[in-house]
Amino acid sequence: MRRRTRTPAAPLPQRDGIDPVRVRLPEERDAGWATVGDYLRARYGGAIGDVRVAKMLRDGRFVGVDGAVGGDEPYAAGLRLWFHRDFPAEERVPFELGIVHRDERIVVVDKPHFLATMPRGRHVTETALARLRRELGMPELQPAHRLDRLTAGLVLFVVRPGDRGAYQTLFRDRLVGKEYEAVAAYEPGIALPVTVRSRIEKERGVIAAREVPGEPNSESRIELVERRGGLGRYRLLPATGRTHQLRVHMNSLGLPILHDPVYPVVREDGPEDYAHPLQLLARTLEFTDPRTGVPMRFESRLRLHGLD
């Protein structure tokens, strides 16, 4: 059995709270890769352009453990390099993160609406992870789970890389009690409380998830907490964690969450409507700390304003 070699530490520091990209040259050498530069142009030329890759090489932006490479070096199978992508300009989400709890192991925050949990797609530096790393001076911080960009509320981050797996396992094994709150239409003809079970599938590149026939892979309990006129405040208790699960289940009941830009109809892409956030909030997290055995419970300090 081949022993896995440990990846060396990146020779480049983070930039704006974002780790450098790591690339490892393949063991199987293609006939067209005579040099390191040949491989880098073949791999990244389509995404950022051959001219840009060439300039990055001239500027010494591809760095190995022994320093920058210029691209003319002979191809070396298994060579590890790091570089920083050019981040596109991002509009700042005009809401702040709130620290709910912080100790030597974890940081629990209130993530505002519209802020992604971690870098993905066009949201890179303007994410909860990047902000926290910058603001707290904690470059090794990592999320234990993810909350949808449009959903506000509690997210747990892990301080030390060696602890991350233990906290991620809590979420994977459904050992975390989660309670959400939502504002949606009040429909007297819909009997509540109700437990919704269905099969949800989400295709890559398609914004909306959908329910399809088959063995259920999602479960949510939905309760009415309060009614004001034509709107209701609902408690949502997910037993599973499929993408957009609560939004899909509320919509399937005929109770789409207020200001949802995807369900029941996907709105046209355009500027963020910061005045009308999705009325969905991750209100509580409850679990037994895997490192200390101490029961932990956190409550969001944020409020939904759909009933105001």
How do residues 26-55 score in pLDDT, each as one tens digit? 988 777 899 999 999 999 988 788 899 999
Do 67 and 212 share a domain, yes or no?
no
Q: Look up the pTM and report it.
A: 0.90
Distance CA(175)–CA(167), nearest Å, equals 10
Residues 76 and 160 in one domain: no
- Confidence at residue 205, expressed as pLDDT on a 0 to 100 scale: 85
Phi/psi of residue 101, each to 5°?
-155, 145
Q: Which of 54, 83, 112 is the last residue of a domain?
A: 83
Q: Where are the alpha helices (DSSP H) in the chain?
A: 36-48, 50-58, 128-136, 161-172, 245-252
Domain shared by 253 and 148, yes or no:
yes
Residue 90 located in a structural domain: no
In-domain check, residue 14: no
For the chain, the domain total comes to: 2
State whether 79 and 132 are in the same domain: no
With respect to residue 304, please indicate whether it lies within any of the assigned structural domains. no
Question: pLDDT tens digit string along 107-155?
Answer: 999 999 999 999 988 899 999 999 999 999 999 999 999 999 999 999 9
Residue 273 and residue 186 in one domain: yes
Q: Which of 53, 83, 113 is the last residue of a domain?
A: 83
**Are 137 and 255 found together in one domain?**
yes
Residue range of the domain that includes 214: 98-299
66 and 159 housed in the same domain: no
Residue 243 belongs to a domain: yes
Region 52-81: mean pLDDT is 94
Do 246 and 219 touch, CB atoms closer than 8 A? Answer: no
